[in-house]
């Protein structure tokens, strides 16, 4: 409940302001008082019901479609806050940049009450339309605002307690507002903090979406917070700062108005770190920060990337590396930068392409193309034309304008030859010649084109053994495998439970939120995982899709393990003896024992429901009474 002293303070402030025309300083915050004054200057009558014009359904649909990118970006946070709001009898609201409500989710009872004061989709909640309120006032103040009970300008809105924060893009423009509203009679202690944390996540995702592939400089005094929503993010163009998030501006003591005006050397006394690395940097103020620089993923990409109309996909959860593998990747990057080809080896599903892309991202060629070729997926008849390209009319079915080929497309960047062990011998010979001479001649042509590529190859096969059997050219093997990196299988990880927890977080579980019970982690860590990361990530995605928001998942939520379907029962006698009930009971007892008392797992092994096992055990217990 609201503290009586707070209620009395607000009532005194309202009497002073609305009845006497005085300024109740000390009774309400400066933010609330300034808003009341703006509303009074606009001629709003506090005791009258606000005149809110709701739009028609088709107009609401049009506005929602207009802001569909914003709605999709905010969906994880809306869903996460929805779980809290529903439990606390509140609602979470997303608005357009002008305060127009796009979405409202939460407690059904409070949704009805809020709708009676037009706090629902299709209603404008700017200050000009609805007086002092968290949404409209946050838009004017450009900061997070809490408006409780009688702090609202209009009397009918005293039933509300609202916390809102504007959502900024990388140029300081407001793109929307996130709000959490509930009963004024309830003290929503952490509402504003929850909203601010959610907005940080949204703004971080928006920034990376708007500057997908650009040269982003990430700064933070605490290196552990690099890569999180608390990091500062900066984009420079011709050494001039053109975009930043709120955390970066705060760390540098700046505001949005200085974008486009401040040069790099005016902000930092240290040089930029090399792409993919973390280094200490000194600000011109003397403060030290840790910095990481993302290199552009395409040659010639400008840092001022056009606003994206798509949502940047979440970083692949398979890109979570153990400390040992991360160290090996750093070593391999140094070899690649010295123009030494690399061979990645590992079982199917160990993330060879993910590692290859990370190697490219950290390498000196990070700003150039990364071209991946799956040698096992290309039909033998097309490998030559796809790799080396062809001139117009080189063969039946060729494109009229010809094609440059993947090798020339990778020029200046990285060529990733996946499943190289499955390349036909005839193609191996020509590929070797191209790699040695650093030039390629397209089919149907006589003119060679020079190429400059870093080569990363990958295979799940034992190429050395294939060479001995005559299935792979020895000269190509020694050309490709000048350095090697063995990727571990899941069962080889020392602390698989910790890796699974990292993958779970990388999938975005903390945004939902959804947790894995320690016993479930132990169960997952004990599995064999023949499909390695691919199989594990697939299972984690399934758990997340089937789980409830805010839940802690247990072993009971696991789908059946395909490797664990066969019951390891005692050998059956040549002739069945005993009653059918006795045989059934023996099977149940054996399954329960094999699953260490876990009835849900035992039910899955037997292919029956848990209720069947419960009934059978109860029946057995009754027979012994």
pLDDT at 154 over 60: yes
- pLDDT score recorded for residue 425: 84
Phi, psi torsion values for 575, nearest 5 degrees:
-125, 130
Above 70 in pLDDT, residue 583? no
The yes-or-no verdict on residue 73 having pLDDT over 80 is yes
Q: What is the pLDDT of residues 297-336, one digit of tens each?
A: 543 333 333 333 333 333 455 567 888 888 999 999 999 9
Distance CA 31, CA 431 (A): 70
Phi-psi region of 380 (alpha: psi -120 to 50; beta: other; left: phi over 0): alpha
Q: b vs e for 379-411, b when ≥16 Cβ sit within 10 Å of the residue's Cβ?
A: eeeebbbbbbbbbeebeeebeeebbebbbbbbb
Q: Is the model's pLDDT at 567 over the cut of 50? A: no
Question: Average pLDDT in the 439-443 region?
Answer: 88
Q: CA 374 to CA 353: how far, in whole Å? A: 10
CATH 3.40.50.1370 correct for 33-203: no
- 211-293 and 318-486 have identical folds: no
Interval 516-554: pLDDT, tens:
999 999 999 999 888 888 888 888 877 877 777 778 999
318-486: what fold? Rossmann fold (3.40.50)
What does the pLDDT read at residue 245?
95
31 phi and psi angles, rounded to 5 deg: -65, -45
Confidence of residue 604 (pLDDT cuts 50, 70, 90): low
- Are 304 and 315 within 8 A, CB to CB? no
By three-state DSSP, how is residue 67 classified? coil
Tell me the domain boundaries of the chain. Answer: 33-203, 211-293, 318-486, 490-564, 580-624
pLDDT digits 0-9 by tens, 32-47: 999 999 999 999 999 8
547-to-315, 551, 598 alpha-carbon distances in Å: 21, 7, 20
* pLDDT, average across residues 472-494: 92
Give the tens place of pLDDT for each residue, 48-64: 888 888 888 778 888 88
Q: Domain 580-624 carries which CATH code?
A: 1.10.10
SS (H, E, C) 480-510: HCCEEEECCCHHHCCCHHHHHHHHHHHCCHH
**CATH 1.20.120 at 211-293, yes or no:** no
Q: Which CATH architecture has domain 490-564?
A: Orthogonal Bundle (1.10)
Q: Which residues, at least 6 apart from 116, have a Cβ–Cβ distance to it below 8 Å?
A: none
pLDDT at 430 over 80: yes
* Structure tokens that stand for 177 in this block: 């507002």
Assess whether pLDDT exceeds 80 at residue 3.
Answer: no
d(CA 80, CA 87): 12
Residue 207 CA to residue 119 CA, distance in Å, equals 29
């Amino acid at each position: 409940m609201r503290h009586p002293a707070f209620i009395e303070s607000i009532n005194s402030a309202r009497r002073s302001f609305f009845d006497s025309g005085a300024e109740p300083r000390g009774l309400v915050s400066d933010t609330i008082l300034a808003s009341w004054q703006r509303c009074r200057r606009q001629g709003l009558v506090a005791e009258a019901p606000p005149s809110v014009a709701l739009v028609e359904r088709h107009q609401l649909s049009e506005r929602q479609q207009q802001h569909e990118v914003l709605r999709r970006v905010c969906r994880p946070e809306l869903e996460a806050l929805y779980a809290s709001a529903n439990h606390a009898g509140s609602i979470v609201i997303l608005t357009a940049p002008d305060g127009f409500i796009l979405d409202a989710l939460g407690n059904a009872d409070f949704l009805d009450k809020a709708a009676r004061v037009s706090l629902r989709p299709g209603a404008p909640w700017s200050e000009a339309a609805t007086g002092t309120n968290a949404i409209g006032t946050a838009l004017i103040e450009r900061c997070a605002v809490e408006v409780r009970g009688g702090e609202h300008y209009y009397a009918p809105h005293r039933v509300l307690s609202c916390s809102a924060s504007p959502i900024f893009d990388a140029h300081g423009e407001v793109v929307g507002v996130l709000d959490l509203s509930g009963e004024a009679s309830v003290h929503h202690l952490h509402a504003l903090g929850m909203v601010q944390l959610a907005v940080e996540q949204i703004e971080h995702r928006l920034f990376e979406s708007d500057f997908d592939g650009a040269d982003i400089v990430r700064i933070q005094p605490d290196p552990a917070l690099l890569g999180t929503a608390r990091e500062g993010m900066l984009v420079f163009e011709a050494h001039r700062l053109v975009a930043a998030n709120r955390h970066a501006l705060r760390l540098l003591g700046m505001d949005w108005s200085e974008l486009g005006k401040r040069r790099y050397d005016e902000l930092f006394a240290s040089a930029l770190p090399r792409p993919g690395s973390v280094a200490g940097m000194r600000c011109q103020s003397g403060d030290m920060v840790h910095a990481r620089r993302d290199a552009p993923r395409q040659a010639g990409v400008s840092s001022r990337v056009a606003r994206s109309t798509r949502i940047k996909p979440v970083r692949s959860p398979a890109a979570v590396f153990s400390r040992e593998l991360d160290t090996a990747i750093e070593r391999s990057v140094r070899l690649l930068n010295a123009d030494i080809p690399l061979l990645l080896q590992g079982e199917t599903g160990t993330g060879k392409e993910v590692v290859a892309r990370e190697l490219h991202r950290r390498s000196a060629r990070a700003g150039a193309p990364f071209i991946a070729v799956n040698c096992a997926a290309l039909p033998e008849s097309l490998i030559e034309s796809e790799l080396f390209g062809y001139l117009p009319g080189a063969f039946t079915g060729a494109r009229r304008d010809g094609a440059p080929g993947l090798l020339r497309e990778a020029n200046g960047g990285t060529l990733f030859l996946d499943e190289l062990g499955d390349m036909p011998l005839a193609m191996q010979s020509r590929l070797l010649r191209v790699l040695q001479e650093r030039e390629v001649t397209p089919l149907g042509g006589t003119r060679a084109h020079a190429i400059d590529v870093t080569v990363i190859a990958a295979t799940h096969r034992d190429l050395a053994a294939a060479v001995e059997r005559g299935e792979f050219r020895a000269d190509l093997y020694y050309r490709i495998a000048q350095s090697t990196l063995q990727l571990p299988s899941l069962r080889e990880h020392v602390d698989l439970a910790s890796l699974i927890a990292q993958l779970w977080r990388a999938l975005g579980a903390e945004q939902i939120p959804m947790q894995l019970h320690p016993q479930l982690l132990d169960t997952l860590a004990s599995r064999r995982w023949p499909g390695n990361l691919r199989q594990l990530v697939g299972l984690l995605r399934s758990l997340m899709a089937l789980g409830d928001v805010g839940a802690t998942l247990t072993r009971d939520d696991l789908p059946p393990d395909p490797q664990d379907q066969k019951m390891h029962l005692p050998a059956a006698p040549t002739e069945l003896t005993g009653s059918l009930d006795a045989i059934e009971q023996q099977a149940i007892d054996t399954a329960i024992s094999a699953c260490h008392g876990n009835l849900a797992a035992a039910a899955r092994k037997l292919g029956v429901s848990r209720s069947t096992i419960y009934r059978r055990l109860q029946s057995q217990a009754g027979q012994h009474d």
